[in-house]
Structures are given as structure tokens and as C-alpha cells.
A and B are shown apart, each in its own frame.
Chain A
Amino acid sequence: MKAFEYAVAKNERGVHTAINRGYKVKAGGIDLLDLMKERIESPDKLVSVLAVDSLGGVRETDDHIEVGALVTLEALTVDPLVAKIAPALADSVRQAATAQIRAVATVGGNICQRPRCWYFRSKEHHCLKKGGATCFAVEGDNTYHAMYGRGPCHIVHASNVATALRALEGEVAASNGTDERVIGADRFFVTPDRSMYAENTLDDDEVVTKIRIPKSIGRNAYVDLKEKQSFDWPLASAAVAEVDGKWNVVLGAVAPVPWYSKEATAVLRDAGEVNDSVAERVADAALKDAEPMSRNAWRLKLVRAAVRRAVLMADGKEID
């Protein structure tokens, strides 16, 4: 790790003053410190935002539930309001990483984490995302890479929260110190063909202040499937949610962004009810636009399973 200056901001103004002076924001530091240790990122100056109270807490407004950027994953999973209205959001991180990491990692950091692609994370592979000319996953070991979307960088988005947020028609609020804007999850996460070096549309001077989800959410659920049950990223996940009476089906860990499955969504919206055969059909439809790589087609079975289970779970049905 490269030596760096470290500052602690006490309020949002302080955060933005620091950002304007070239400081990079550190919240829980889970992802950032990993990147710094590998020297994938080597910021000269870091500002901790952990002491900024206004970025924490879960609040209820007339139309929304707002989750502060600094709410930890652990706090998100035990928040009664979130659990009641949006179990998909709470469940998305209930089994994430480890208990120790969930106690420190934040919601804002989770949605902004960089890809876990092993080529991106290794210095010796100067890949597209790091300004190189090649996505090494194409000819290399792409077991854990994208099965949807056409690259040219084939990462999967690393955030479980993102998958749930997209299905819940959630939004991300970001501030540059002067203006706060609210960006829909459908626009916040961005594919590499539009933005190679960042996985979201935050500006350099912006910091995530909160995420929010509408209170008009109906039935919803999140399911992920992992090789290991401790400290692992999903092989595939799915979030299914009804918002204003309309279903959304979103796939996670399969594409550079949370993958909104139009086909699966259409089947579920048309079905009228939820039962085993509907869940099967929705799951089949979710595979229609898949374009797996050389080593990962087998994961489509897990995509299918995740979608089928999420549909049934959202409706409170047992999974056989």
C-alpha cells in the first residue's frame, strides 16, 4: 500500500471540501483498502466519512424509505422498516461476506464497489478496465464472468444491494456539496460499452448520500446462490419485486450491471398469479437473452434456480 494522507470529515461540507482538494472518499474501506493493498488504486489522500451523521440512518418519508449511505450491511439486515417493506433489500446482504465485514461495510460502499474480476484485480493483467487493450476473460478463465451483455469488458457487478435496488425501482441520491440529484438504479449502474472505467454514473465530485426505495413496493424477494456459504460472491442471484402493482425481475452476478430481464418480467406480469408453473416459465424466460462465455454456461442453471425461487418466495410460497 502506498503511503497516503488521511483526514476525517465531521460533516458533509467537510467531505466536499476534502473532495475538492483531491481527497478520495473512504467509508467502511472494505473494497478500497483491498484495491490499495494491491495497488490497483493508489490515492494520495483519503477522507473518512464515517463520522458524518447525516449520511447514516434509515428514514421514512411520505413516499420512500431512505437508507443512508453509511448504514452498515448488518444494520440494513436488521432494520424493521426495511424488513417489513423490502425483504429483498435486507436479504441481499444478509449472508454477504462475513459477520465482521457486514458490521463495517456500508450500503454506499457496497453499491460503489469495484468489480471482483480476477483480471481486473491483478496488476499483471492490464485489462480493458484498467486502460489496456484486452479483456483477458474472453480467452481466459471466465468461469465467474458475465453471461449477459456483450462486453467488451465482461465483469459481473459485485453488489448484491444493486440487484435488489434495481428490482425495487430504487434510486441513488448523490451530492457534490452544492446540488443533490437522485438517479434511478436503472441509470446509476452503467454498462462498460458506455463507461469503461466506472461502473456507475457518479461524477468525480459526487458522493452517494443515500439510497431510497418507494413505499409502493408489493411482494418482493431476493435469492442468491453461492459456492461457499461464508465469504463468497454469488454465482447467480435474482431479485423479484412488485412496484405499483407491476413486477420486475432482475438478475445479479451475471452482467456488468444488475440485469433487468425484460423477458422474465413480461412473463411474470402477464401471468396474473404466481404458482410453480409460472415460476418455471419466468425462470426459463430469464435465460432467453443470455450469451454465456466459454466456461460459464453451466451457471445459467443457477440463474434459472435463483429466479424460480425468488418468484415463489416473493409470493410467500414454499420452494420444493
Chain B
Amino acid sequence: MKVDNNVALENKLSRVDALLKVSGAAKYTADQYPAGMIHGKLVRFPYGAGKIKSADVEAARKVAGVLEVEIDLAEEARYPGWPVGHIVAESRTAVEDAEEALGLSFEMTPPSSVPDRIYEGAGGLDAEAEQRVDGALRNAAAVVEGTWRTQVQTHSCLEPHGSVVDCRGDSAEVWGSTQSTFGHLDMAEPTGLDRSKILVHNEFVGGGFGSKFGIGTEGDLAGRMSKKYGRPCKVMLNRREEHLDAGNRPGSIQYIKLGADETGKILGGRVDGVSIVGFGRGGGGVTNLGDERFNNYDLGDYEFTQSEINLNFSKPRAFRAPGWPQATFALEGAVDELAEKLGMDPVEIRLRNYRSKRRLKQLEWGAEVAGWSRRRTTGSQTGRVRTGMGVAGAMWPLWNTQCGAEAEIHRNGQVEVRVGVQDIGTGTFTVVTDVAVHELGLDRSLVTGKVGNSSYPQGPGSGGSQVSRSAAPATRKAVLAALDELKSIVAREWKVSREDIQYKNGVFENGDKVLDWKKACSLMSGDKLTVSGRTETGREGDGTSDCVQFAEVEVDTETGIVRVKRIVAVHAAGVIVNRLTIENQICGGVIQGVSYALFEDVRLDPNTGAMVNPEFINYKIAGSKDVPEIIPVLDVEDSDTGVRPIGEPATIPTAAAIGNAIANAIGARVYQLPMTPERVLGALERKEAGA
């Protein structure tokens, strides 16, 4: 079994910024308090739909420390959290006091808050397509059909969205909690400045998951108010606003029909995907449901439709593999049902139908690590607590984006590498540092990697799991170019040509002449040499990044409570720059997947349309004891294809694998996320009733 080989770059060093983070020394946007700073906040409509009836703006303006209060009574709110005005004050307390003094009263319009009240069954195929699918399934040995539902999930970044903007005359310094350093130059708009006059700092960012690309309405307010008052202005959302108006993963209702022959070969089928997208489109809601380009299978005569329904809830945003976990939960569940009907092993049916050869190998590796042979026949257990195992797979495309980097070698031997990407908690500092450490063969203490600043050479935002893939080769190019310059200096000293100098691990050699790194650096005539490198694209790869995950669960059939015991996550990893960082990314994706599978759910009151759980008590998110043993298995057979994306694929198949494991344990299927005790008990009841 060749699961893991040790590629050159691999190391197990801890993150370069670990101490800063655990000690609290790392300063996030929320930690910025420039002198003279004022605070802004958006005033929000709390219910599903309606208008502000009255607001005591005068009373709010009279609150000590308040600079301005604006409320738009004409604004028609369409979701809970809809901005209807703003407050600016000298302190956060004054902002909140003013908000209370507004004494808002509301005019409510009946909201649309219950998906099933507006879902009108499967979207329609045209007659010809319908015929084609039915024709393909005519001779099927097994056909399954069902309707699958997924919930709305919020990004729940630990650091909320927000910016601190300090406008000074014709330039501005900005701190942004953003996953796009250069995207935050959009602060040009509210400040009325040229993009070139804005400096963005986003050194430390507490999570983004796709929700932190633009400056948002909060950043817009901070920009406008800093400009207006000529003082630094901070607008950070609170937890409630985070849930209400900072993006979400849209829900879905998916009707699926699939048929296969007796060998398990899928003959055809259909997916009618309805996305529950809140107010406005986006977030990969509808786009991936049922779309063959995004699933794992050769599905034969296959058709799909996509439509959407709108709730009175905020607009979705890209969320860690937008659309994919929804689609995968449904499709991988339906394939499992097909296997069940045919009496086939779930791994077998995937071996038969997965398109990617890489994933076929991963299935075999994962099955071995997970101990798949221990899996019991579905529905064969009778005890109170039943164990189950399930599998699901996914793929992720390789994105390649132009990325710049600069390497600076100082006279004292220190090396600094600057790349205009960002570290949203994923380990980019470490990746940049360790690539330079590896390429130069130096001790880590000599190298400082820097990201998260718009004065650095431009790189991509953190979307599509492309940052490491783009930043690693750019870093490599820059440090090797800088090394060449240093070689030239040594060559001049030795009066030989640069090509005749050998360099390895900090030592320059030519014949019997030897010079170590620091001495070579001291030959510089100036204080430092700075060289930039740029990649037009990341390295070309071979198509997709594949993964399979195996879940093991324990289901208490008396209470419906599910405990995930173990997840084996096999991922195409390419070059492993830093082992702890990539394993951590996989673990993070799995944990978010467990949380999505079992707990997280935006709950809207059916009558007022308000979100009743905009916090972390009733918006249930996996805690430490809910986290299973996670075994990352790194598939590095493709290490010649460069650094590979991992952030997004790591979360795609988790919920599907858990759903399949639950079905294996109890012999009944839960068709809806999150798979709560209520729904597990419901599935068991339906099974008892023979439905």
C-alpha cells in the first residue's frame, strides 16, 4: 500500500505563528485601536420582512458620545438583519445606548421562512429528457428515488467581519478581516480615494470560509465615516450580525432518481435540485446541484434541472466548496441506496462508477485504514447502540492564478519573503516560510515569510483553495532568483563565473573555496537585495484533486443521538509543504462537515421570520467532545503536480459519509440535514411502520 511517501518539502514543524496566536500577541482587525477611533454600527431590521414604523432618532442623537444616527423609514426590509440605518459614536457602548434609545417599532409583513411551504415538488424535465431517463431505467435491476434536504448553514467565522479605516487626507490605512488582501482596496469606493492610495493590513484573519471577499456593508460604513469625520472608524459585526448578514451556505431540496443494472453500473437518472437561497443569488447554491461536471460519477443517461426558492433570509455567499456538500450528501446517499437495493458493497458500487482512477485507489486505501471489512450488513444489528460505516467521495478542480512574491536577503543573513496573499487561519505564513526554507536549505530561524499586506506583490484571494498552490511556486521563484544574485556576489568575490558556484544548504562552494550563508551575505555592498518573482499561473496539474472519506458512527436507537467515532479522510495532497498544516486543514474540514451533518441549522421563526438562534448556544456547532478521531491519509502519488488544494475538498464528503454510516447502522435513512435525534428517531419509526 503506497499511501504516503516522504516528499522533499515535507516537514513536521509547527506553524511559524503558533506562539503569537496562542499567546494572544497576534493582532487581528478587531484588536486595532488607533488613537481617536470612532465606532460605527448598522441598525438592522430584526424580522423576516417589513418596515420601520417609528424611530426616535432625536433621542438616539442625544445620547452622550453619539456623532450621528440615520434611519431610513422608507427602506423595505426583506430579511432579518437588513440594514435600515446606522449609528456612529465615540464608543461601542454609546453606539449600543443610541440603538436602544431609538426605541424602534416595526411594521411586519408576513415572511416566507419555511422552505417546504414554497417548495412545489421536483422541477420539471422536458418531455424528451424525461423519456430518455425513463428509457434508460426501463431495464434497470434497481431504481431508487427520494427527496433530500439540506439546511442553511452560516460561516460562523470566529473573528467577525469588519474593518478599521483610517483616512488621512488623500490616503488611507485600512485593517480588514478579509480573505482578499487586494479585494479590500475596494475601500477606495466609500473613501473616495484612488486604489493606489490605500494600504490594507490583514496579517491575521480569524476565518473566512468564503464569506470575506468584499468590504461588505460594514466596511463601506467604516470607510464613509472615517472619510467624513477624518478619524479612524471601526465597524466590526457582532455574533448576531454574523449569523444574520454575513453570508451562508444555502439550503437545498433535491429530488433524485437513479437506476443501475445488476452489476451496479449506473444506467441513468435525474436530479431536480432546488436551492434555498434567501434574498438574492450566489453562494454556489443552485449551480452545483445535480450538475454532472461537479459530481464523481459516470451516470449514463442522466438529466438534471436546477431552480431556486427564496426565503426572507440574507444572501448566500461562497462557503467552503460552494454547493458541493449539499449535492454530495444527496447523490452519495442515493448511490448508497442503490447499492443497498442491489445487495452490493458501497465501496464496490463506487469502484464500478467513479470516473477518477485516482479515487479508485483512494477507496482501496481508505477501506484498509478504516477497517471496512468490519462493516456489518445494513440493518442486521438489533442492540440499542448500533455502529455503522459509510463512505463518500468528492473532487476539486485545480485553480491557477497569477501570483507575485518578493524575496529580500539582508546583509546579516536574514531572509524575508513577502507575498500578497493572506492567512485566514490556514497556515499561509508557514507555507511561504517553509518553501523558502526548503529552497534555500537554511534554518527556519533565518527566514521570515510575510503575507497579508497590500504593499506586497499581488496574489490571489483565498478562494477555490488556490493560495498555497499559487504562493508556493511564486515564493520558490523569488527566493531562487535572490539566491542567484547572492551567488553573483560570491562569484565576483571569488572571481569565478556564477555558474561555477555550487550551493547547498547555506554553503557556497567552488573548488576548495567554501563560504557559509552569513559570510556570503556580508559580502553585499548594500544592506539588502530585493528580488521579485512571479508565476503567471500555478503549476499545471492533471485535472482534479480527489478524496474519499470513511465515517464510523454509533447510533443510540433509544434516543436517536449519533456520535461520530472516526473519520478516515484520504486526500490527494500533492507536494506536502508542511505536514501539520495540511493535516490541520483536513481535520478542520472534517470537523466543519461533522458540524454540518449533525448540528448546524439556521432556525427562522415561522411567524416573525426572525432568526431565533443567532448565537452559539442554539446555533449548535460541534464542540470538542463532538469531534471524532480523524485520520488524515495523504495521497502523495501526484506530488509531481505541485501543491494541491485541500481546504475545500476536505469538507465536501463528510456529511454524506456520516449519513451513509447512520443508514448502515440502523437500516433506515435520514434524508435531511442536520441528522438530529428527532430525524434519526423518525427514520427508525418509519422503518418500524414498514414505510
Contact = CB atoms under 8 A, between A and B. Distances in A.
Given A1-B93, A227-B599, A118 B612 contact: yes
Contact of A122 (B93, B598, B610, B681): B610
Interface string B601-626: 00101111010111111101011111
Contact of B558 (A140, A143, A144, A301): A301
Contact of A298 (B383, B603, B615, B681): B681
A125 interface: yes
B677 interface: yes
Contacts of B561: 225-227
Contacts of B93: 1-3
Given A136-B607, A141-B605, A228 B681 contact: no
B396 interface: no
B68 interface: no
Given A118-B612, A124-B46, A225-B561, A139 B607 contact: yes
B677 A235 contact: yes
Contact of B610 (A125, A143, A302): A125
Interface string B678-690: 1001100000000
Contacts of B607: 136, 139-140
Given A39-B100, A298-B678, A305-B558, A232 B620 contact: yes
B612 A98 contact: no
Interface in A199-241: 225-233, 235
B618 A118 contact: yes
A301 B559 contact: yes
Contacts of B678: 143, 298-299
A16 to B, nearest CB: 29
Contacts of B100: 2, 39
B204 interface: no
Contacts of B596: none
Interface residues of A, number: 35
A119 B384 contact: no
A305 B626 CA distance: 21
A113 to B, nearest CB: 12
Contacts of B598: 227-228
Contacts of A305: 558-559
B47 A229 contact: no
B676 interface: yes
A223 B440 CA distance: 59
Contacts of A125: 605, 608, 610, 612
Given A39-B100, A124-B610, A302 B625 contact: no
Contacts of B605: 119, 125, 136, 140-141
Given A140-B608, A228-B620, 15 more contacts: A98-B623, A98-B624, A121-B615, A125-B612, A139-B607, A225-B559, A225-B677, A227-B677, A228-B623, A230-B622, A230-B625, A233-B617, A298-B677, A305-B559, A320-B384
23 contacts: A1-B93, A2-B93, A3-B93, A116-B617, A118-B612, A118-B613, A122-B612, A124-B47, A140-B607, A140-B612, A141-B603, A141-B606, A226-B561, A227-B561, A227-B620, A227-B677, A229-B625, A230-B626, A231-B616, A233-B617, A298-B678, A299-B678, A305-B558
